[in-house]
Structure 1
Amino acid sequence: MNSKCETTKLQVANSITDYWNLLKPKIMYLVVLTGITGMVIAPGSIHPFIAIISTLCIALGSGAAGAINMWYDSDIDALMTRTKNRPIPAGKISKSSAIELGLVLSVISVTVMMISVNYISGILLAISIGLYTLIYTMYLKRRTPQNIVIGGIAGAIPPIIGWTSVTSSISIESLVLFLIIFMWTPPHFWALSLLNYQEYEKAKVPMLPVTHGISVTKVHILVYSIVLFIITLLPGLFLKDYLLYETCAIPLGITFLFHAFKVFTSSNYYKYKAMFTYSIAYLFILFICIILASF
């Protein structure tokens, strides 16, 4: 009896883990951080309950988009080593369960955001989910090497949602945060595509290294990284602690450029991996610096 009970508990725990992974939690953490950043730096105040609701809706919206993405991409996920162990291709979750969860979470997150926070935040959340699922996942990803550039708009919207949760309006400050994420997204994912371009080619996903070659991709990474560095200097113009922010942002940006230059000048797998890994930590730390410099 005890053995059967333990087995049941383990199965439940594994099932919960599988559904959690379906929501792409690593992406969700970053999305939530950028949304909170928008709330923190926005002028005025927000009731703690509303802030929590907004944060939860952003998280649910991100998870919904992740689930729908995994539902649609399960065929190509099964072809690539990096993604073949995801819940659907691994046979842990059915495609029907994934799309149902994604749609339910989409409706809940957008509806609650509209009712409990404000309409503009709900509309922006719906746009973000729609851009990621309908435009990026279902249309752009398999058709153009610029998929991640245009699709990056979806991931750049959360700080604007955080801002509008407080102010009910969009401002230049929130757009600067949007631009930071928008310019960060291509070099981040192009570094990943350099690591896995043969698998993308096998799955017939037209990532930039597949369609235009590795050299062109390296140039794009370097150019976007330079523009990103320039844009990351802008928050210092409106944050309370300008010195603290720039003291953090400049070294972070120089290190990002260093990795981009290393990628540009070499064909070393580990240089590509270092760029990809650092880019994740970079955005987390940068947005934490923005939060700290707002006080």
Structure 2
Amino acid sequence: MRNSNEIHAGTFSLPVWRDYWELGKPRVVLVMLVCALVGMALAVPGLPPVDKVLFGLLGIGLASMGAAAFNHLLDRRLDRLMIRTASRPVAEGRLGSLQAATYASLLSVAGITLLWIEVNPLTAWLTLASLLGYALVYTGFLKRVTPQNITIGGLAGAAPPLLGWTAITGQIHPDALLLVLIIFAWTPPHFWALAIYKREEYAKAGVPMLPVTHGEAFARLQVWLYTWLTVAVTLLPFVTGMSGWIYLVGVLALNLRFLHWNWRVWRGKDLAVPLASFWFSIRYILLLFLLLLVDHYTSLMT
């Protein structure tokens, strides 16, 4: 039988590869890659070139995981103060700062280099700008100084469909920027819902999230107002002719549900509702981009 010290040690001796894997926030990166893939598909009338898709997704994915690892590194002190993040590999000490910095750098360099060589320089430069925007501008600066950190810093997180588009065409197109605008408008109600739920933890950590600096009631109102902005922006693909009736019908149904959840966030006091709204918003953005994809290929077959 193992003694208590061995059991105690065993609970913290996770395989190293799992700690490195967690460092890259794979679930968040997966959502980003779905959005990038839709950008690739919408960039051309037919199927995009397979090699550009594979190398593009791999390069964007590696760079995104590198940015996420830098986020873990720079936020390690704040993460220790919050229940949601206290068990992260660097915050808990399972990985050291040098290990995290080396891993983040290797992933980032590998991703940008792959994009430069196998895809095109424009996508490499835009991915680098997105990486620096998230890891340095948002995590290292905005997150600590302004309650509008999510609004301003959300541009970096909204880049994946643009990166996917440029990976295929090598050009920036207004339709690609519209996809960026959709994610940019969606980010505040998505994240502020979570910030309302975790308000006390952010206050304890000294992070100036909107519910901490302006109060919960104000933050709930902003979630509701930004929800309407998101609804308006998500109708633009149909208005501009980028998408057709399949997308319109689907996005109207999604928006009704999105409005329902965030109306409950605005008017309610139950903290379980903002968390439920946060989780729904992830499904919302994934389904919205899936609708864009289905509408695109359906229109090609008619």
- 2:88 alignment partner AA: R
The residue that corresponds to 1:72 in the other structure is: 74
Shifted more, 76-85 versus 46-55: the winner is 46-55
Is residue 2:209 matched to residue 1:207? yes
Task: Give the ranges of 4+ consecutive aligned residues of structure 1 lying more than 2 Å apart after TM superposition.
Answer: 10-14, 43-47, 236-240
Q: Normalised by the size of structure 2, how large is the TM-score? A: 0.91
Tell me the TM-score normalised to structure 1 length: 0.93
Q: CA deviation at 1:167?
A: 1.2
What's the secondary structure of 1:141's corresponding residue?
A: helix
State the match for 1:26 in structure 2: 27
Match of 2:92, SS state, is: coil
Distance 2:93 2:232 in 1: 45
For residues 219 and 54 of structure 2, what CA distance do their matches in structure 1 show? Answer: 40
Query: Quick check: 2:41–2:48 contact (8 Å CA) kept in 1?
Result: no
Shift of 1:225: 0.5
Q: CA RMSD in A?
A: 1.6
Counterparts of 1:1-295 in structure 2, within 5 Å, are 14-43=15-44, 46-236=48-238, 237-239=240-242, 242-295=244-297
Unpaired segments ≥5 residues, structure 1: 1-9
1:115, CA displacement in angstroms?
1.4
SS of equivalent residue, structure 1 residue 142: helix
- Structure 2: which 5+ residue stretches go unaligned? 1-10, 298-302
Alpha-carbon distance between aligned partners in 2 of 1:146 and 1:246, rounded to the nearest angstrom: 31
AA in 1 matched with 2:241: F
Identical positions, percent: 37
Asked whether the 8 Å contact 1:173–1:238 carries over to 2, the reply is: no
Q: How many residues align?
A: 285
Paired amino acid for 1:134? L
| Distance (Å, rounded) in 1 between the aligned partners of 2:77 and 2:14 | 26
Deviations 1:147-199 (A, max 9, x none): 01111000111100111111111111101110110011111110010011111
In structure 2, give the amino acid aligned to 1:198. E
Which residue type is aligned with residue 238 of structure 1?
A: G
For 1:238 and 1:19, how far apart are their aligned partners in 2? Answer: 43
Q: What letter corresponds to residue 114 of structure 2 in structure 1?
A: V
Amino acid at match of 1:19: Y
Q: 1:11 to 1:194 in 2, by over 3 A?
A: closer
